[in-house]
Amino acid sequence: MNKIETNSTPSNATTPLLERPLERREFLIGSLTAVGTLTVAFTIPSPFRKFFAAEISEARSLPNAFVRVAPDNSITLVMNKLEMGQGVNTSLSQLIAEELECDWKSIRTEFAPVDAVYNAVGMPMQMTGGSASMKTSWDQHRKIGAGMREMLKSAAAAKWGIPVSGVKAENGSVIRLKDGAHLSYGELAEAASHLPFPENPPLKKAKDFKIIGKSPNRIDAAEKVNGKAIYGIDVRIPGMLYASVTRPSMEKAKLLTFDRKAARKIAGVVDVVSFGNKIAVLGKNTYAARLGCEALKPTWDYGANAHSTTETVMSGFKKDASQPGIVAETRGAVGAEMAKAKRVLTFEYEFPYLAHAPMEPMNCTIDYDGKKAELWSGHQMPTIDLGAAAKTLGLAPEKVKIHTVFAGGSFGRRASKTSDYVVEACELAKKVKKPLKITWSREDDMRGGYYRPMYFHAVKVGLNEKNEISAWDHRVVGQSIMANSPMASFMKGGIDKTVVEGVTESAYKLANFECRQILTEAPFTTLWWRSVGNTHTAYVMETMIDELAEAAGSDPFKYRRRLLKDSPRHLAVLDLLEKRVKENLSTLEPGRAWGLAIHESFASVVGHVAEISLVNGSPRVHRVFSAVHCGQVVHPEIAKSQVEGAVIFGISSLFQEVALKDGVIPQTNFDTYPVLRIQDAPVITVDFVETDAPPTGLGEPGVPPIAPAVANALYRLTKARLRILPFKAEVKA
């Protein structure tokens, strides 16, 4: 078994690989803790346990769970979240550093092992998702930093023989107030390690923040630029084989034939192994393995789905819309008020399957010798991945070690509810019994079978004689993401919130309202996709609200203000957006129009105004003005980047789909699954509502409102309503 201590590796360490100079993006091997390092150790005190959902085992919990202070004054922060480009290593470090009063330049980070002490707050497992990292870590991480600060102050006071009130912590040192004498944290580390962790360390007021609210250099920026950052796709272990796997596009397909001999003729191919309904080609390098897979020419039996198409699946969804389903939310007297309505408007919306398409395709490296195993990848839900690996390998969980490394994006794909990419690596390792790495190609990833579900919405809205909403009947048809997964317990009364969230939780509190969920079956496995159910529900709600505003003869801002009069956070976002519109969009170039949308998700409110024109009959977004209410902004530049990325992601989704034609997926790469290119990206201006309220979600809430903002602008320009995605038809202004 190869001894590779990734979880004890400072993310900026530079240990050699295989006793030769480190090359770009190679895996780090060896002992990575400096000899003689003294750490400030503490167990989580009982009052602190309220922050952890699962019971903490004293035997397994790490004594220095989150912070280590070394004699050289370096401070190592253990990250219990996956860094996948969202900047969480930096922003979480800010929370601890703010209260710890340390020198920002002294901070290092490393990824946490799998242990209950690192569980996400409010969840019985370790995970990164739901835009919850800052929201759930706000108190937890600041109290960790504050407690460490008080321990170091107490150690210094004891050394000087004075009360702790006679010292202060500042910039990585404890200072004696009477004469300015100081002791560095490194000098105090050993003494502080013997002190108890304080139960209620005092936290700073927002007015006293020095790091929170600022934009220091990102912790991992340099190593990502110079190539020292290790992503899953970079991992190397001695004696490793490289595997490429050919999979069917639908999970239940049966493998019929493949050309083993043709694959083995490829130079560098070591072996061809079939397992389940998949075939793996093992090679001396990834390129050889890929060429071997291309030579396989496999065939599968897709059974009843062999002739399925996007159209036939959606047709089934439309038929299912007439089923009773389950009432997800109801209030008032929808039926009676609809019968009395002066006008009844009907709306139907169609949404396709969508792929995640992160820049780094899926991958997993495993070292399994029949008795124990180690795995390396960008694990978004390492607790679930560890359990799935142990079950697949037939090992006790303590015999499996999960190493989390950097991930090049995810958008939900690495939060696999079935741990599919981990299970696959384990299944193959059981047959091969050699260290190996499976690397998915872009085509593998695009046709991997785990997608944002297809959805169909059928809505009726009744209007009274004043063209005000008198009744709202909403039906959503789609596949469940939660069912048959570790998250199934979160379904209450059969309701999968990922199907109806954003409708049932809409800030538009309509007096007579009903939403029904109709769950159905379809060929693909579904998975959460950036902003999950809000990806489709926000589109429906915000394009409908715009249409209803027009029916009422109202300005889109005024109409929303009336419906959101009891939602001060929404009104604050609308204020910022309206100001930007008056400043920048009061006079538009000929052939341009703007559209508005606002939506709350993950406890944050985000609004966008998109300015568009038509280029060859297709919308081109020139400018986007974004306003965000997400509580205290910890790192403004990272926060801005998150919103900008969400805007690009959401605009791209207008033109994307994973289609199905006779059991085959035509989309294979970015040429057939378009992502907005740099030359087509809009100028994006982001404003944050100023508040000292605790942080709420940010990674996902920027996605839902941008597509409807573009669609609303398109209507203002062309009078064409876009209710079927992706955008395909050419329109004229």
Q: What is the mean pLDDT of residues 238-248?
A: 96
Provide CATH code, domain 238-309: 3.90.1170.50
Question: Of all residues in the chain, what percent carry a pLDDT higher than 90?
Answer: 82
Would you state the pLDDT for residue 45? 39
Residue 296 pLDDT exceeds 50: yes
Distance, in Å, from the CA atom of 126 to the CA atom of 118, rounded to the nearest integer, reads 6
The rounded mean pLDDT for the chain is 90
Contact call for residues 665 and 448 (beta carbons, < 8 A): no
The mean-pLDDT minimum among 299-313, 604-618, 620-634 falls in 299-313
pLDDT tops 70 at residue 41: no
For residues 354 and 653, the answer to whether their CB atoms sit within 8 Å is: yes
Name the least confident of 52-61, 86-95, 405-414, 691-700.
52-61
Residue-level pLDDT at 67? 87
Looking at domain 362-439, its CATH class is: alpha beta
pLDDT tops 60 at residue 68: yes
In the numeric block, the tokens 């902004």 are attached to 633
Q: Is the pLDDT of residue 569 over 60?
A: yes
Pairing mode of beta strands 469-478, 513-519: parallel
3-state secondary structure of 281: strand
What value does the mean pLDDT take over residues 706-732?
93
Asked whether 26 and 9 are in contact (CB, 8 A), the reply is no
Separation of alpha carbons 359 and 471, rounded Å? 44
Separation CA 192–CA 154 (nearest Å): 7
- For residues 504 and 325, what is the distance between their CA atoms, to the nearest angstrom? 15
Residue 9's pLDDT is 38
**Residue environment code for 233-263, b if the CB has 16+ CB neighbours within 10 A, otherwise e:** bbbbbeebbbbbbbbbbbeebebeebebeeb
State the pLDDT at residue 8.
Answer: 33
Give the confidence band of 283 by pLDDT, cuts at 50, 70, 90: very high
Question: Residues of CATH 3.30.365.10 domain(s) within the chain?
Answer: 6-226, 321-353+451-718, 362-439
The ranges of the chain annotated as CATH 3.90.1170.50 are 238-309
Residue 486's DSSP bridge partners are none
pTM for this entry: 0.91
| Strand bridging mode 618-629 / 604-615 | antiparallel
Residue 421's pLDDT band, with cuts at 50, 70 and 90, is very high
Average pLDDT, stretch 403-421? 96
CATH tag, 321-353+451-718: 3.30.365.10
Q: Please say if the pLDDT value at position 63 is more than 90.
A: no
pLDDT digits (tens, 9 = 90+) for 376-402: 999 999 999 999 999 999 999 999 999
CB 715, CB 340: distance < 8 Å: no
Percent of the chain scoring above 70 in pLDDT: 91
Q: Is the pLDDT assigned to residue 291 strictly greater than 50?
A: yes
Q: What is the pLDDT of residues 638-665, one digit of tens each?
A: 999 999 999 999 999 999 999 998 878 9
Buried b (16+ CB within 10 A) or exposed e, 420-453: bbbbbbbbbbbebebbbbbbbbebbbbbbbbbbb
CA 424 to chain CA centroid, Å, is: 22
pLDDT attached to residue 578 = 98
The CATH architecture annotation of domain 6-226 reads: 2-Layer Sandwich (3.30)
